[in-house]
Amino acid sequence: MADNRSHADGARVLADLNTLRGFGAYKTGVHKPTFSQPHMRSVEWLARQLPEAALTATIDGIGNVLGTSSKPGPKLLAGSHLESQNHAGWLDGPLGVVYALEAAQIINADPNANGAVEVAAWSDEEGHFGSFLGSRSYVGAVTEADIDAARDASGRTMRQALRDVGLAGRARAKAERGRHVGYLEAHIEQGRALESGGLCIGVVTSIVGIWQYRITFSGEQNHAGTTRMADRRDAGLALARFCVAIDERLPALSSPRSVWTTGRITLDPGAPSIIPGRAEMLFQMRDDDAAVIARLEDLLQGMAAEVNAQGRCSVAIERIRTGAPAMMDARFQDAIEAASVQFAGGKSVRMPSAAGHDAQVLATIMPAGMMFVPSIGGISHHWTENTADADIVTGAQVYVEACRRLLAG
């Protein structure tokens, strides 16, 4: 059977991704923090492209870029984000935005295609100022007080950052309930499952929740020379012991998908000649099953109770972020899988996402789906992050076809 419909233009997809890589280039990756000049150049570039896909461009008051169609029929919302982690990869975010733009360029101009693809680039998915503030603003889950409180690692307020890039006076866009058949996001896998299985497409079944904790150890600050070893209450050593105990004891109660990370450690006062009287670690756990996390959290609290019972140092565990695992819509999973049969020789696998994505926020108000392309060596959040050009092009073809299928109803 002849297929006379237009497919994704692989060369155009690669060219667009390389244009975005040019803003804030760092080695082979990018350095594009939210509201930095390279991020805003990316935002403005996207806004200039949208009319070519028959979309009206808006940049809202929190930095979301939205392309709206006046074409009759069903609308599919599609996108990802444009900013990056510090000194990180070129595809984390832009891949999903460029795929969405490609789908809009092909489908919106095609009189035989049903409905239209509307494009979104969500602001600050990488969390320089908060947690999914762009997409959460769109679904109505961000208050003005949340924005007042948002700051980056340097202490700059989000309000100031918005003023600095001229966005402060604009209204924040809100989702029009019922407008979209759903939301589709593509992303690099950021893991090794596709690569090690010789696969092209990941069909995401769920997005894990992220639970985050501040674990604080209190001992006694004292002189590093005159305080005998036996007299010490070293908060830093208590923290190190706790990290090792986590590594030894959590595996027994975790699921195969559970991961945990200590990303930051601070010793106070942090001087070479002073025994730390206080030490703090930022600890994170992820799973798509809240019951598993509840079990691990109980274990952590039990371990803390043991430390406190010994009495040399005390420890307190404070949960500062509570995860919300999100299920991906079955119809979206089926559409991606069928498109993979057509354009990727069926080399797809259903898998959970261990990273958080804006799709989990959109999933709170509409059906949502995600598809992954392979990451070389599983590396991400680092400037060496990459995906083979051939995999990027295959992913674009699968993505455009999945959009067609979702709009076909």
* Closer CB to a copy of itself, 47 or 282, in the complex: 282
- Phi, psi of 35, rounded to the nearest 5 degrees: 70, 10
Is residue 324 involved in binding a copy of itself (CB under 8 A)? Answer: no
Tell me which residue has tokens 């299985």. Answer: 197
- Kindly tell me which residue out of 86, 157, 314, 364 binds a copy of itself, with binding defined by CB under 8 A: 86
Least distance between a copy of itself and beta carbon 86 (Å): 6
Q: How far is residue 245's CA from residue 31's CA, in Å, rounded to a whole number?
A: 35
Q: How many CB atoms lie within 10 A of CB 3?
A: 7
Those residues whose C-beta lies under 8 Å from the C-beta of residue 128, and which sit 6 or more positions away, are: 33, 34, 35, 83, 152, 153
Q: Which is nearer to a copy of itself, 270 or 345 (CB)?
A: 270
CA distance 99 to 225: 60
Nearest distance from C-beta of residue 240 to a copy of itself, angstroms: 4
- Based on its alpha-carbon atoms, the radius of gyration of the chain, rounded to whole angstroms, reads 23
State the DSSP string of 160-180.
HHHHHTT-TTSPPP---TTSE
Tokens 């949340």 belong to 146
Q: How far is the CB of 236 from a copy of itself (least distance, A)?
A: 5
**Listed ranges 79-87, 159-167, 172-180, 361-369: which one lies at the site for a copy of itself (CB under 8 A):** 79-87
| Contacting a copy of itself within 243-272 (CB under 8 A) | 243-244, 247, 251, 254, 258-267, 269-272
Least separation in angstroms between CB 6 and a copy of itself: 33
| Total chain residues near a copy of itself (CB under 8 A) | 65
Phi and psi at residue 287, in whole multiples of 5°? -165, 160
* Residue with Cβ nearer a copy of itself (172 or 286): 286
327 touches a copy of itself by CB under 8 A: no
- Binding residues among 138-197 for a copy of itself as defined by CB under 8 A: 189-192
Question: What is the 3 state secondary structure string of 10-67?
Answer: HHHHHHHHHHHHCCCEECCEECCCCCCHHHHHHHHHHHHHHHHHCCEEEECCCCCEEE
| Least separation in angstroms between CB 157 and a copy of itself | 19
Residue of 34, 36, 84, 85 that binds a copy of itself (CB under 8 A): 85
Which residue in 93, 2, 8, 1 sits closest to 395, CA to CA?
8
Among the candidate windows 155-163, 175-183, 280-288, 397-405, which touches a copy of itself by CB under 8 A? 280-288
Q: Which parts of 207-246 interact with a copy of itself (CB under 8 A)? A: 208, 210, 212, 220-229, 231, 234, 236-237, 239-241, 243-244
Q: Which residues contact 156 (CB under 8 A, 6 or more apart)?
A: none
Q: How far is the CB of 248 from a copy of itself (least distance, A)?
A: 10
Nearest-angstrom CA–CA distance, 140 and 159: 18
- Residues 120 and 185: beta-carbon distance below 8 Å: no
Residue 277 binds a copy of itself (CB under 8 A):
yes
AA identity, residue 276? P
Quick check: 282 binds a copy of itself (CB under 8 A)? Answer: yes
**Binding positions for a copy of itself, 19-78, rule CB under 8 A:** none
* Residue ranges in contact with a copy of itself by CB under 8 A: 85-87, 127, 189-192, 208, 210, 212, 220-229, 231, 234, 236-237, 239-241, 243-244, 247, 251, 254, 258-267, 269-277, 282, 284, 286, 353-356, 375, 378-382
